[in-house]
């Protein structure tokens, strides 16, 4: 009898904590997204889908949604595409110092993003930063990136990429070197170029992990980018660097529009859920599974 209860007993602490601080809050946020509220007032006014309609029609939030997709593209480029190429190079092209590269690449991953944000703010300072000084020697100047639309998103993504690169690299590396050595050796004997080996053999055979990293880059990357946005730009210039995550924070804790924030959060969640469903429907079935 007691033996039967044990698994539930062991699961209880984790499940209770996750229910209280993750699952129930998620349901409550869904509920709040149908109300107009300011977090303090004793009454909440039911407004149906107004918060959602407002988000999808309002120019500011339209810009924020556009920015979110801009962030996604830049983050995928830095943290998936480039990382994949590095994993392949370390795995198959270079022969020595593999261990050293793995350890060295990971170093920035353990550093606080607040520290990273501050360091990059100084290093990339358009007037007195070291990059500007070196640039001046060669006759070019650094644009005022934190006030420039578009560029600000690229630089903030770069800060996040600096931190995330090492982790993504390790996971992709493990999967890339898991591809059967014989196949690669055979391809090499046939004089197939490294580029073709990468695209035709390694990429499809490690694609399950690749897709996992792709989703992680989007889900985590958008949340990670919150820190440099909050520390450096506060969403500016004129919402030019805000994304769905930062905007939800801004609505809730700066302008106290709880319903707007909740609706933004639910839209973010919806995007993430769609991504995961895509993985299950498409990837899990069709893609070559490394360990099967």
Partner 1 sequence: MKTANYKNMILHIILISFILLTIYPIVFAISNSFKELSEAFTSTLSLIPEKFTLENYTGLFDSIPIVGITINTLITASVITVAKVATSFLAAYAIVYYQFKFKNVTYFALICTIFIPFTVTMIPNYLIISELGLQNNIWGVILPQMADAIGIFMLTQSMKGIPKSLIEAAKLDNIPTKYIMKDHILPMVKPAVTSTSIWFFILAWNEYVWPVLILKTTENFTLPLALQLYISSEGGTNFTVAMALSVITMAIPLGLYLIFQKHIINTFTTSGIK
Indicate the residue among 121 and 157 with the shorter CB distance to partner 1.
Answer: 121
| Least distance between partner 1 and beta carbon 187 (Å) | 16
Query: Contact between 51 and partner 1 (CB under 8 A)?
Result: no
Instruction: Please provide the DSSP assignment of 59-104 as one string.
Output: HHHHHHHHHHHHHHHHHHIIIIIHHHHHHHIIIII--S-HHHHHHH
**Which tokens hold the place of 158?**
């770069």
Query: Contact between 122 and partner 1 (CB under 8 A)?
Result: yes
Q: Show Cβ contacts of residue 178 under 8 Å, excluding neighbours closer than 6 positions.
A: 206, 290, 291
Pick one of 72, 76, 87, 113: the residue that binds partner 1 (CB under 8 A). Answer: 113
Lay out the site mask for partner 1 across 154-183 (x = CB under 8 A, - = otherwise). --------x--x-x--xx-xxx--------
Determine the interface stretch with partner 1 among 64-72, 90-98, 183-191, 195-203 (rule: CB under 8 A).
90-98
Query: Contact between 14 and partner 1 (CB under 8 A)?
Result: yes
Q: How crowded is the C-beta side of 46, counted as CA atoms within 13 Å?
A: 2
Question: Is-contact 129 142, C-beta < 8 A?
Answer: yes
Query: Contact between 114 and partner 1 (CB under 8 A)?
Result: yes
Residues 273-292 that bind partner 1 (CB under 8 A): 273, 276, 290-291
Determine the interface stretch with partner 1 among 48-56, 71-79, 149-157, 266-274 (rule: CB under 8 A).
266-274
Q: Cα separations (Å) of 39 from 101, 212, 243, 260?
A: 49, 37, 22, 12
Determine the interface stretch with partner 1 among 58-66, 150-158, 185-193, 226-234 (rule: CB under 8 A).
226-234
| Least distance between partner 1 and beta carbon 47 (Å) | 16
Query: Contact between 255 and partner 1 (CB under 8 A)?
Result: no
Indicate the residue among 70 and 272 with the shorter CB distance to partner 1.
Answer: 272
3-state SS, residue 238 = coil
CA 210 – CA 203 distance, rounded (Å): 8
Residues 183-202 that bind partner 1 (CB under 8 A): none
| Least distance between partner 1 and beta carbon 240 (Å) | 18
Indicate the residue among 74 and 246 with the shorter CB distance to partner 1.
Answer: 246
What's the sign of the alpha-carbon dihedral 240, 158, 244, 85? positive
Query: Contact between 207 and partner 1 (CB under 8 A)?
Result: no
| Least distance between partner 1 and beta carbon 50 (Å) | 18
What is the DSSP pairing of strand 45-46 with strand 35-36? Answer: antiparallel
Query: Contact between 11 and partner 1 (CB under 8 A)?
Result: yes
Neighbours of 97 (CB within 10 A): 10
Query: Contact between 81 and partner 1 (CB under 8 A)?
Result: no
What's the sign of the alpha-carbon dihedral 124, 237, 113, 268? negative
CA 87 – CA 100 distance, rounded (Å): 13
Residues 24-43 that bind partner 1 (CB under 8 A): 24-26, 28-29, 32, 39
CA 148 – CA 247 distance, rounded (Å): 19
| Least distance between partner 1 and beta carbon 264 (Å) | 7
């Amino acid at each position: 009898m007691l033996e039967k209860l044990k698994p539930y007993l062991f699961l209880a602490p984790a499940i209770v904590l996750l229910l209280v601080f993750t699952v129930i809050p998620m349901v409550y946020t869904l509920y709040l997204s149908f109300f107009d509220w300011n977090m303090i007032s004793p009454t909440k006014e039911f407004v149906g889908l107004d918060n959602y309609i407002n988000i999808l029609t309002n120019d500011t939030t339209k810009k924020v949604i556009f920015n979110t997709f801009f962030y996604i593209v830049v983050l995928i480029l830095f943290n998936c595409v480039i990382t994949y190429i590095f994993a392949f190079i370390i795995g198959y092209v270079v022969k020595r110092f593999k261990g050293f590269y793995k350890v060295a690449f990971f170093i920035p991953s353990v550093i606080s993003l607040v520290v990273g944000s501050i360091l990059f703010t100084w290093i990339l300072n358009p007037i007195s930063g070291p990059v500007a000084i070196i640039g001046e020697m060669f006759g070019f100047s650094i644009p005022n990136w934190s006030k420039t639309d578009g560029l600000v998103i690229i630089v903030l993504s770069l800060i996040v990429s600096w931190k995330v690169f090492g982790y993504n690299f390790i996971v992709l590396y493990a999967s890339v070197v898991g591809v059967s050595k014989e196949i690669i050796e055979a391809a090499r004997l046939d004089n197939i170029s490294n580029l073709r080996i990468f695209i035709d053999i390694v990429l499809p055979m490690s694609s399950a992990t690749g897709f996992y990293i792709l989703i992680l880059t989007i889900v985590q990357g958008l949340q990670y980018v919150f820190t440099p946005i909050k520390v450096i730009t506060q969403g500016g210039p004129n919402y030019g660097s805000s994304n769905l995550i930062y905007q939800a924070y801004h609505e809730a804790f700066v302008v106290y529009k709880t319903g707007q924030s909740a609706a933004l959060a639910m839209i973010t969640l919806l995007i993430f859920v769609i991504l995961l469903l895509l993985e299950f429907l498409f990837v899990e079935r069709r893609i070559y599974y490394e360990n099967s």
